[in-house]
Structure 1
């Protein structure tokens, strides 16, 4: 097992050092340049489109609005990556890793805009709802179904199996630290609850988590901001530490710059998912009047995730010294944040974080499962394949609870790299379509209109299923209605 873990870590080091980080930076900078900084100049517009409410005529049912899509994506992003992932990055890469998480978010937001806009354009109908994602725009936009299948396999393994192991690993570590519960029991409990949901016997647990996760996310943000405000005078020194450590401006830190960059990019990608190809699967489900609106919404989600939540967590961690303790980078990932929070607010904060982590991680297990299911159905609809997939998901849930932390996270990094490489290649081939949509959107905004896209606006594009002229959409705004 040790040899396997070492091999995977070596492969990760090669991929991230020489391939992925360079591709992420080049892609993000290229999109930022070509779009004239869409993620910065249209920040006010991102908040404006949050108020959109779209209704499909003739069905009497409201689709998923822009604000609802934003809250769903924010709830899915805010979780173990923001809490355990940030602590892990600092423990392994030092405070400077946080700076490179910021860089990842600011530059990667351009990639997030492109991938989510494309997912909206090439989405397909699924009853009264929509579905889509990278596999769909690879098939429809690039005419490369084989590439879509390759991505579908990668995301199924990455999210359905490996990322679910990461989630359970975090739950088990948190409960072991707070209550001393054996990790195998936590794995069995989570696997049982997961089985109840994914086999469709009872939907109650899923309904409860959908209600509680946004509440827990908001509660965590509030608690994190309270800690920051309690220590506001320390914040400038912490920011200085982060920046100086990022560039090795302190004695003995020069050799650690590469580790800080690698950890910052790894954990940043895991947390905000910019360019990874996962968020577009959720973005495609939204009912909006123009594909660019979801591109803007998901870009805003990247900023909220990393610039706000991850930074707040980093400040909490750096207020204490738990990340400096021996073994903090190997076996105490969630413990680092827990210990830091307890030192600031008392024992109740550690218990709250344990409960919050459970709901964050469990809801992510269910969401990750459905990412895999959707992409399996893209490849081929098969009840037998779906059954074996579900069994494999449960096996990885149990495996994650008892596996060595480093092996689980190394596997997550490896499959995350494969996903990102495939998706970034696809959006680099399709970016012109996304920016044509952006121009169409901005031309309408300059005329004072609330943008509406129709397939006839770009007649040269085929395989567009959900934007035909006959699909009438009413856009309800405060104080006015347009058609």
Structure 2
């Protein structure tokens, strides 16, 4: 068994190095830059509008939060956001940020911001395409995601039918594998390690308990998952942010030095850990981007699969929820985590070197303990439990959709049973291998998705401009319908022409 794991680790390291090389980072950020330019910097130019239409609508628009009926297979806009945030707000926001700082120095946080800024429009584009190309399955459930806009969108272009179909299958395969990595074993392992180190609970016991809890929710399908996440996600996010803000306010005198270390570390004015300057910049960029993607998942094409189940009709409306998702995950939660660590004296702000003996989640726990005492470590352990478990719930839905695309609707129960069983495996495996596998599957999943977004960028641009002209400029023009509505409309028109 040990030899097998060693082989898996060696192969994974080789693939991980290739997947997360410079070309992949250029593709990832380049896609975000392209969509930002094509939509005329929508995340800035229409900041007030998307804030008002998303988080602002929670308090003013009943349609945003209204639950659909029992027979309705759709979920509300707010439920789709919470389920997506459940999958994104996980260990990446705590352990991931700490790992980025430890490996890439404070400068990694700057590059995490860069990825998030452009990632907002990547996520926006994914959601727009998800709504535009979604379809109903035999259970009358909405099915959307990269596999559908690759097959029906890219595949509709001249000479791309085969390419679109192949990429759709590859994305679905990578999605299923990623759901077991980033969405299951990596998260569960973090919970088990923390429960054992803080409370002395054996990892196997943690795994068995979480397996039973996950089974109760996941087997119930999307509506049950959404019902749980819409209560758990806002609660856990607010509690964690409040605790982190208290630590930040306590150390507010260090904020100036923290900002300086972030920007100097990002551009090589100071090397990571006192090493070679060029090497320090490369590490800051690589780790900032990797952990940024791990955290907000923009570019993976993951959250679009649950956003596509929303009861919204306008693609751009759900696209704006995608912008808010990345904003909340990285710009708010990850940033607060970073400032909590950097302001607590655990990192030498002059060299970027971690002076604490702790790593990963324990580094954040030590930062909290500096203010809350022994309660701090317990607080982080419980936060990781809530964050990571909600991620498992969200990713179970993503994997289900990938599996459904490959093997049909009736096969989903089989996937869900295997997914739940792997919770125990994740609790007892090596943490490093779990994280490395997550990074690898993330990258492999992103490649076909980004190809789809880039090749369909013109469609996103047209849909966005159509929305802006109608809703913001008040022009009386026809809205762009979903792709399947347009196909149906063309078919009906042809029938009428034949009759006449």
TM-score range, shorter chain: 0.7 to 0.9
2:463 paired with 1:437: yes
Work out whether residues 69 and 286 of structure 1, in 8 Å CA contact, stay in contact via their aligned partners in 2: yes
2:404 paired with 1:392: no
Long gaps (5+) in structure 2: 156-163, 348-353, 491-500
Work out whether residues 53 and 66 of structure 1, in 8 Å CA contact, stay in contact via their aligned partners in 2: no
Cα shift at 1:223: 1.8
- 1:77-476 to 2 correspondences below 5 Å: 77-125=88-136, 130-143=142-155, 144-200=164-220, 210-250=230-270, 252-253=274-275, 254=277, 255-322=279-346, 324=354, 328=358, 332-381=359-408, 383=410, 385-386=411-412, 388-448=414-474, 453-455=479-481, 462-464=483-485
Work out whether residues 87 and 333 of structure 1, in 8 Å CA contact, stay in contact via their aligned partners in 2: yes
Whole-angstrom CA distance in 2 between matches of 1:450 and 1:336: 56
Aligned in 2, Cα 1:390/1:63: closer, same or farther, shift over 3 Å? closer
Aligned in 2, Cα 1:160/1:3: closer, same or farther, shift over 3 Å? closer
Aligned in 2, Cα 1:36/1:204: closer, same or farther, shift over 3 Å? closer
Whole-angstrom CA distance in 2 between matches of 1:452 and 1:200: 39
- The equivalent of 2:14 in structure 1 is 10
Aligned in 2, Cα 1:272/1:205: closer, same or farther, shift over 3 Å? closer
Cα shift at 1:411: 0.5
- The TM-score normalised by the length of structure 2 is 0.83
Whole-angstrom CA distance in 2 between matches of 1:133 and 1:392: 22
SS at 1:434 equivalent: helix
- The TM-score normalised by the length of structure 1 is 0.86
Task: Report the more deviating stretch, 431-440 or 183-192.
Answer: 183-192
Whole-angstrom CA distance in 2 between matches of 1:68 and 1:357: 21
Aligned in 2, Cα 1:80/1:200: closer, same or farther, shift over 3 Å? same
Cα shift at 1:161: 4.6
Query: Aligned-residue CA RMSD in angstroms?
Result: 3.1
Work out whether residues 210 and 363 of structure 1, in 8 Å CA contact, stay in contact via their aligned partners in 2: no
Whole-angstrom CA distance in 2 between matches of 1:235 and 1:165: 35
Cα shift at 1:199: 4.1
- The equivalent of 1:26 in structure 2 is 30
Work out whether residues 82 and 233 of structure 2, in 8 Å CA contact, stay in contact via their aligned partners in 1: no
Whole-angstrom CA distance in 2 between matches of 1:453 and 1:200: 36
Whole-angstrom CA distance in 2 between matches of 1:249 and 1:271: 27
Aligned in 2, Cα 1:319/1:451: closer, same or farther, shift over 3 Å? farther
Work out whether residues 99 and 246 of structure 1, in 8 Å CA contact, stay in contact via their aligned partners in 2: yes
SS at 1:268 equivalent: helix
Work out whether residues 134 and 145 of structure 2, in 8 Å CA contact, stay in contact via their aligned partners in 1: yes
SS at 2:269 equivalent: coil
Whole-angstrom CA distance in 2 between matches of 1:450 and 1:287: 24
SS at 1:274 equivalent: coil
1:36 to 18, 37, 40: 40
Whole-angstrom CA distance in 2 between matches of 1:181 and 1:321: 30
Work out whether residues 124 and 319 of structure 2, in 8 Å CA contact, stay in contact via their aligned partners in 1: yes
Long gaps (5+) in structure 1: 456-460, 470-483
Cα shift at 1:153: 1.1
Deviation string 1:345-399 (CA, Å, 9 cap, x unpaired) is: 222232222222212222221221121112211223264x545534432443222
Whole-angstrom CA distance in 1 between matches of 2:312 and 2:224: 29
Cα shift at 1:343: 1.1
Work out whether residues 90 and 187 of structure 2, in 8 Å CA contact, stay in contact via their aligned partners in 1: no
Cα shift at 1:402: 2.1
Work out whether residues 123 and 299 of structure 2, in 8 Å CA contact, stay in contact via their aligned partners in 1: yes
Aligned in 2, Cα 1:41/1:467: closer, same or farther, shift over 3 Å? farther
Cα shift at 1:9: 2.2
